[in-house]
Chain A
Amino acid sequence: MGSLFRSETMCLAQLFLQSGTAYECLSALGEKGLVQFRDLNQNVSSFQRKFVGEVKRCEELERILAYLVQEINRADIPLPEGETSPPAPPLKQVLEMQEQLQKLEAELREVTKNKEKLRRNLLELTEYTHMLRVTKTFVKRNLEFEPAYEEFPPLENESLLDYSCMQRLGAKLGFVSGLINQGKAEAFGKTLWRACRGHSIVTHAELEGPLEDPETGEVIKWYVFLISFWGEQIGHKVKKICDCYHCHIYPYPNTAEERREIQEGLNTRIQDLYTVLHKTEDYLRQVLCKAAESVYSRVIQVKKMKAIYHMLNMCSFDVTNKCLIAEVWCPEADLHELRLALEEGSRESGATIPSFMNTIPTKETPPTLIRTNKFTEGFQNIVDAYGVGSYREVNPALFTIITFPFLFAVMFGDLGHGFVMFLFALLLVLNEDHPRLSQSQEIMRMVFNGRYILLLMGLFSVYTGLVYNDCFSKSVSLFGSGWNVSAMYSSSHSPAEQRKMVLWNDSVIRHNRVLQLDPSVPGVFRGPYPLGIDPIWNLATNRLTFLNSFKMKMSVIFGIIHMTFGVILGIFNHLHFRKKFNIYLVSIPELLFMLCIFGYLIFMIVYKWLVYSAETSRVAPSILIEFINMFLFPASDTGGLYPGQEHVQRLLLVITALSVPVLFLGKPLFLLWLHHGRSCFGVSRSGYTLVRKDSEEEVSLLGSQDIEEGNNQMEDGCREVTCEEFNFGEILMTQVIHSIEYCLGCISNTASYLRLWALSLAHAQLSDVLWAMLMRVGLRVDTTYGVLLLLPVIALFAVLTIFILLIMEGLSAFLHAIRLHWVEFQNKFYVGAGTKFVPFSLRLLSSKFSDDMA
């Protein structure tokens, strides 16, 4: 068998890394992804470890790179992601990379800050221009006042800034002008009116185009306002209110000439600013473009470096403090490659003394490694989701590859639906190299990962649909039905036969709504349909009576076979871990228990199928009643299934009754006997092996040692007996619980397999309802409207088929098939208490920006 049958053998190796070459060696190891490091410094906090400084440096670099990526994304520059991932940088390059990145960051920050300042400046100037332009129109309205203002000489500014006063009729006329946010304009006006008690005039107009706020980037609409007021006190109030409302105030020109001058000055300044701003933005873009070329590889390199330092933190220093010691789990098949990688690393760093390794024996349980390819990975994930297998135990995933899609198909069995599912999976498989598919999000990613499972599920569903004779709820008659209606007519038979049977003629048919075919009438039943269920059952009203009986028996047969197979796989485990006594004391009683009761049930089912026919249908006993009566020993004798039935059943019950105590007590007593040396317990079943074990025990020194035969230090699979003491009570309790679970589980698990019947019934009925409610309605309509109606009906039928029958039922059957595997199949042999082998592999680091920069 391939390595999928059992996990690989592992060994613990010690690596001696010279401190000069440690980094390069780990880089070489990481690129190959061979070994799993063990943390030797577990009681040291992460802040006290040796390479904390280097890790901090890596994180600093990561921060700079994240800032770079953010800026590049903000400027909408494309960020190319390379195909190959570069290796971790050698130590010499790290320093210069760090300098480079820091310089780049400083420069970027500087340029961005300048740019912001320029833009803010530009905004102020633009606002001032707008304000001047708009307030001109205010003043222009009162054209007659214009010349009047020019007569009076302007007074110098009073103590307050930002407004100019004019003397007029003894009172000082002041102006305040500026821009205010659109939302606040009304409130502003009201406050002004109330505060100044009518001593101010406010005019405002809306600015046509919205302006962008440089800090937040929002576009807001602004109102230009002009406030004219009398008096100094009011001037204070106005100023304060303007402050409150966060208005942008600009100095108001007194004369038209001043206004013109200011406007010209502003225009030139704006032009200058535009040029400077453009140049700055160009320069920024240039810098970012250049950085974008190498940012991707830098990110990967920094990530790899950080990972290497994390691993280095797990190593411990030896006594002389010059050599790093690392303990790794390595698969035995890869030991040679490990040596090569160490040599390569030493060579690259140019050290005189190469790093080396040696294996050390250990009592600990190694992690479990099962090598999968893209096809078997999905099935292995299904098994691992329940529990990663213990070290070196039989891996159910090998068989799950076929049994899981098959059990799914038994519950899903529909030719049409299965074919659609198969096509969908085929599409996924053929396009698996398409980049968008391998980078998709959660749910699509799960579906994509399970594409081979879907493929097999669809394929098997096509087969079971063929056997169930169910295609979108319709049956296909490939070979012609085995049931002949015409033979039921009295005209088909000779008068002599007619007197013996109840036959039909036209009037009988006209007066009875339903009639049943009788297989005992010769010629009615012409033989079983060669492939699957006869198509006539699709037309029958008592279809479910026949199908239920067939499907229930089929479910029970498959269940018992699946479970028996599970027990047999347990025998492989016992053989591998060299615990032969388990086979005789546990597996064989389990098998006998299961087969004597449920194997006999299968025998009865098949016997009834073969022997009883329509002629004897009246006396055909019910399997269920016979099965129950097997245990109840009823007084009345109902005839039974076959002659001699009671004797056979009694024998089977005796065997079962004998195997139960062996299952309960055999193993604990045997282990007790082994532990205490020879005593009077003689279990005849395992006589030969006991003698052999005994002599071996006496040869090796007795004591509270391991009592498993041929115990190998490395293969410590069984955890029942601790190395130090022998706890009989615990063993007995474990075995009793296991036996009770097994015996009761036999019955409940067999019944649990009836879900194969239940789900396939549900699927068939749903399919039938969909057809009857949709397509039949559409197909029955007259041809004139029928064509038009049929189009939306077919569309609705397709949509509902996909969502209800394919997705919902598919998920449901998937879940139940998983349940059958996880519970009913795997609890017969699978322990699943292991840890997964996670190698230190730099290839596993995510190389996508979206993952961590999101």
Chain B
Amino acid sequence: MAALCVEELLARAEQREAEPHRSVAVQKELELEFDLGNLLALDRNPPRAAGAQRESRLRSLARDNTQLLVAQLWGLPAGRAEGATGPLVAQLPEPFYRLPREKPLPRPRPPTRWEQFARLKGIRRRKRTSLVWDEAAKQWRRRWGYARAGGDPARDWLIEVPAGADPNEDQFAKRLRDKREKVARNEFNRLRNIARGALPGRGLHPTGHQSRAELGRATQVARVSTASLGRFQPRLPKEPAAPPPRGGKKRRFEPLLGDLAAERSRQLELLRGLGSKKPPLDLTRAVNKQLREEDAQAAAGKGKKRGQRGKRGRQRPGGGKGPAGGKGKKGGARRQQQRPAGRKRS
């Protein structure tokens, strides 16, 4: 009896599931990829909608895909906006599909002269009130601008001649001149800050009024702007000679037939070194040097941390070559150490 009931229930359930106009199940060969932040679904299955009934097949394909996408969206954590009776709202995750940006990444603006100075001295910005009490007008007036506290200086009908100034000098003209100079100076500083902020090749202008340093930078950039990066550029008449090409032992290109005596001595040294039985690396000295270098680095690192906390603005010359040089030596020393040990055991 019970078994029959169960069978009946199962049959009914199956029937309900198979009802085409109520089911939410969709069969797909390959799973779809979803990017819910963009409300995007990517279906990799080859579509089978060719032929006569293309529109209806496309539509059924679209329906299946949309069903899967909506199922995913309904699976997101949802809440009710604006209280318990508001519309059901789902939290979308961050969009995953990477799309190109509209504009390039913003470059950080370099600090201006004043900002550098303030950082050095530890001066911080004070928040000022926008209104100031004007005693004469018995009102709160703005600090500067249209009807400012203290009255508009340009409208003064009387200016006292300060002690020590020439009595025949026109004080009104002087005030006007000073204001113009201040404005010009401010503008000059602003442009200087902008020019400093530009990259080496960008702030340069082909005008006549450039400082010596700017001209030097401009010639440098122009020299290197050839297809061979300035290697075959002749020097200008009074330009200093090219700095000797730096490079390690491997990037130094000496001329082939230069100093015969130096070449002879170099070859003989090489032969002597090959012929001698003494190992070229003195183990103890190398290890001691390495230890000393490590101690120096640790001390510099501690000092750097303390310095950084106090004065963030100052730049400290970092030890770039230190770790690279040390790594080579350390490996070499270790390798040398292993071999003698092996020899002793055997």
Q: Do A and B bind each other?
A: no
